[in-house]
Amino acid sequence: MRKYALLILLLSSIPSISQNCENTLSGTVTDLHDGSLLAGATLIVAGSERAVVTDLDGKFTLKNLCDDTYSIQVSHPFCLTKGFTIKVSGNTTKNFKLEHHLEELNQITVEGKAYSIKSKTILENTISKEELERFSSGTLGDALNSLSGVSSLNTGNTVVKPLINGLHSSRVVIINNGVRMEDQEWGAEHAPNVDINSAGNLTLIKGAGVLQYGGDAVGGVIVAEASKVPVKDSLYGKTLLTGASNGRGTSLTSQLTKSYQSGWYATVQGTLKRFGDFEAPEYVLSNTGIFERNASLHAGFNRFDYGIEAYYSLFKNEIGILRASHLGGAQDQIRAINSDRPLIIKDFTYDINAPKQDVTHHLARIKGFKRFDGFGKMSLQYDFQRNNRLEFDIRRGADRDKASLDLELNTHTLMLDLDSHLTDAVSLKTGIMARFQNNFADPNTGVRRLIPDYDKYDLGIYTIVDYRLNDNLFLEAGGRFDYTFMDVFKFYRTSFWESRNYDELFPEIVVEELDNQILTNPQLNFYNPSATFGATYNFNEEYKLFLNYSLASRAPNPSELFSEGLHHSASRIELGDLRFNSEVGHKVSLTLQRDNENFSFSVSPFINTINDFIVIEPTEIQQTVRGNFQVWEYRQTDAQLLGVDFDASYALAENFRFNHQFSLVKGYDSSQDEPLINMPPVNTKNEIVYQNPEFKNLRLALQSEYVFRQNEFPDNNFEVFIPETETMETVDVSTPPDAYHLINFNSSIDFKTTQTSTLTVGFGITNVLNTSYRNYLNRLRYYADDLGRNFLLNLKINY
């Protein structure tokens, strides 16, 4: 700790240059591509706090310079920040050229960060602000679903969990504004607690290439970043209002930013979302409403060579879970599965009753950075997250309104990172991370703890080196090591403890024996190495090849280790295993990309071999007084996933474009030689877009989405005795639903209302044909159809 402090104190004593010199440096800043003059570009003389901004003609003048060599950093909100070395001798003129780093307006990648946290040898998929706004009333998972290779594991249509190349939950790391989300992401019915409206852009990396935040992303990494605030005096904002017919709800989100020339800025943002019961084509999906309230505050001081920022966000979400999905034993399951319609259908309402989830997530972070000449950029970040998760089941009597699950997860993380250019061609990024996490399960629920109380300590260290060999070949290598220590207090049922032979294997961890429970204190250590190696090769201006190998290792999560009991939302008994070790994945991915105005495409095959893959699957039927339940046990096996993602975009004619996406993934349990459960079926999306920038930026898009039937699945069916008929009946929990085809329509048009404000009106229809369908990856597919037709009206004002 003392070292950090010394470092910080050191930072505060950089002397400024004070010499009596009279030279002037003047010139213009222009766009490298089209030569247009860039107004509002900031020039900073490194080593001093002197800065000037270009005027409307892109001109600048720096006075009082000596005959010397200066490092000058030139930045502009829409461009890559670039450093120049200038020799000043007398009054000097110099014109600077900057490169637009993204063509799309408004999509501004966070300076520095965009290049250091993400992998350069895995193709990244990005969702721009404009596209994100179309999902304003949806969820993060819905937006990600629009990318090839991403599907989602749903619980109904409001709990949407991203699934990257077939993997989800703890295998997908979500970085929200530079903070790794710690929000009980292990559960399949736990959606990411991120307000989609707080993100300026979303980036997806299908691999573990982002070592800065952890080496355990066996599936992939999702990065949500806030928009960059320009260093100039301005005040701007936007408000988005969406109304939707299905769910009869609205979503309102607003954002306001104030920034100053001096580098200070502040942004406030808030979202309010309220929907009632959603509807399938033929009936109301009772108790599927949602009530979401979010707010975030972002403030800071940003200069080229140092800066500090603070961020706080509150995410609160109340989600109803389909009433008909809450079941007793296997006999109820049979009735529910065999019925075409949900067993409980009530009139539409905005009320959200049990079963439901109520999640509150606080995230606070503070970060400071300082650049040192010839050394690099040093940043220090502390973040705190508090996740409180309440789940309500159908209960009897006095406990009716009491949560069945009440977990509070607190996480503190400290990160120190160094970003350094060793030479022009080689850059280095390295850092250390310390994390403390505490989980508290409230015993007042009157239901045995699903996740036990624990303290978890993580320590990580990483280094990534980039090497630009020549203009065409770029190499990247990185390594990371994580140490995890878990100190757990867990009550086991005596009968379970003995049936697993834990009484002989782990007698030393027993703290106390109660009537029918045993209190234990498992202390677990995990050592996880991870690495990434990759190369990018440019054949020419258009063609590019990415090749990457990532090694990821992930410590088992608390639910895989300690689950023990009935999971109501799945109507099954889930059992974890204390003996698990870390899961290790090896992923090789290759991408061939063509970037061309008229016809661009990318094809990305991958192969992911995972040793000690933790999978949950049914093992037996357990009898209880309540009837029979299927028992699902976690076990470790070796898994193999392979697939390909294909994207293409073709300009049919002026303003007309055809977009195509195709994703395929196959997953096998190689030790048992059978398919893995919940692998996304093959799917393809085809879209025709008309966009006319000359006529109010009118955009019309017609999309077809075809999802094939999943033909490879493990057989987890079981039989149960039905007393009424005195027969054994099969409970079919395995057979995937049929293929389906959905048509969606989307349109938008811009109106300039005043000089500085634009009104965008959008109208869309999803599931235009009101098709009844069930999705293999929706956990509630046994009980009800998916959503029917939905009309969406979208109003956006930029000001």
Partner 1 sequence: MRNLKFLATAIFATVFFVSCSNDDDAPDPVVEQEVITTMTVTLTPNGNGTPVTLQTRDLDGDGPNTPVVTSGTLATGVTYNGRIVLLNETVNPPENITEEVEELDDEHQFFYTIGSGLNVTTEYSNVDGDGNPLGTQFTLTAGAASSGSLTFTLRHEPKKPNTGLSDAGGETDIAATFNVTVQ
- Give residues 712-731 in contact with partner 1 (rule: CB under 8 A): 721, 723-724, 726
C-beta closer to partner 1: residue 22 or 620: 620
Q: Determine if 341 is a binding residue for partner 1 (CB under 8 A).
A: no
| Of 310 and 688, CB closest to partner 1 | 310
Which x/- pattern over 238-267 shows residues binding partner 1 (rule: CB under 8 A)?
Answer: ------------------------------
One-letter identity of residue 184: Q
The reply to whether 453 sits near partner 1 by the rule CB under 8 A is: yes
Is 489 one of the binding residues for partner 1 (CB under 8 A)?
A: yes
Query: 355 preceded by cis ω (within 30°)?
Result: yes
Q: What is the DSSP string of 477-504?
A: EEEEEEEEEEEEEEEEEHHHHHHTTHHH
Among 668, 665, 586, CA closest to 165 = 665
| One character per residue 272-311, x = contact with partner 1 (rule: CB under 8 A) | -----------------------------x----x-x---
Site mask, partner 1, residues 1-40, x = CB under 8 A? x--xx--xx-xx----------------------------
**Least gap, CB of 225 to partner 1 (angstroms):** 21
Query: Which residues does 152 contact at the CB level (< 8 Å), separation at least 6?
Result: 141, 142, 144, 145, 160, 161, 162, 163, 777
Q: In this chain, which stretch among 123-131, 245-253, 450-458, 649-657 interacts with partner 1, using CB under 8 A?
A: 450-458
Residue 396 found at the interface with partner 1 (CB under 8 A): yes
Residue 563 pairs with which residues in a beta bridge? none
- SS3 of 93-139: the string is ECCEEECECCCCCCCCCCCCHHHHCCCCCCCEEEECHHHHHHCCCCC
Q: In this structure, are residues 394 and 226 in contact, taking their beta carbons and an 8 Å threshold? A: no
Residue 783 touching partner 1 (CB under 8 A):
no
Of 354 and 551, nearer to partner 1 (C-beta) is 354
Interaction of residue 501 with partner 1, rule CB under 8 A? no
Choice from 94, 113, 412, 666 touching partner 1 (CB under 8 A): 412
Please pick, from the candidates 116, 494, 716, 734, the single residue that binds partner 1 as defined by CB under 8 A: 494
DSSP 3-state of 559: helix
Cβ proximity of 44 and 79 under 8 Å:
no
Within positions 104 to 143, which residues make up the interface with partner 1, using CB under 8 A?
Answer: none
Quick one: 115 or 260, whose CB is closer to partner 1?
Answer: 260
3-class secondary-structure state, position 133: helix
Nearer to partner 1, 162 or 263 (CB): 263
Q: Indicate whether 758 belongs to the interface with partner 1 (CB under 8 A).
A: no
Helix (H, G, I), strand (E, B) or coil at 142: helix
Nearer to partner 1, 174 or 488 (CB): 488
The piece of 165-173, 251-259, 396-404, 746-754 that touches partner 1 (CB under 8 A) is 396-404
Measured from the Cβ of residue 686, the count of other Cβ atoms closer than 10 Å reads 15
User: Do 648 and 619 meet the contact criterion of CB atoms below 8 Å apart?
Assistant: no
Q: Which is nearer to partner 1, 130 or 719 (CB)?
A: 719
Smaller CB distance to partner 1: residue 384 or 537? 384
- Beta strands at 306-320 and 290-302: parallel, antiparallel or unpaired: antiparallel
Out of 235, 341, 446, 738, name the contact with partner 1 by CB under 8 A: 446
Distance separating the N- and C-terminal Cα atoms of the chain:
45
Looking up tokens 């989600």 gives: 319
State how far the Cα of 98 lies from the Cα of 88, in Å rounded to an integer: 20
State which of residues 29, 352, 447, 486 lies at the interface with partner 1 (CB under 8 A).
447
Nearer to partner 1, 365 or 429 (CB): 365
Which residue lies nearer to partner 1 by CB, 512 or 595?
512
* H helices present in 475-624, as ranges: 494-499, 502-505, 558-562
| Strand (E) or helix (H) holding 10 | helix 2-11
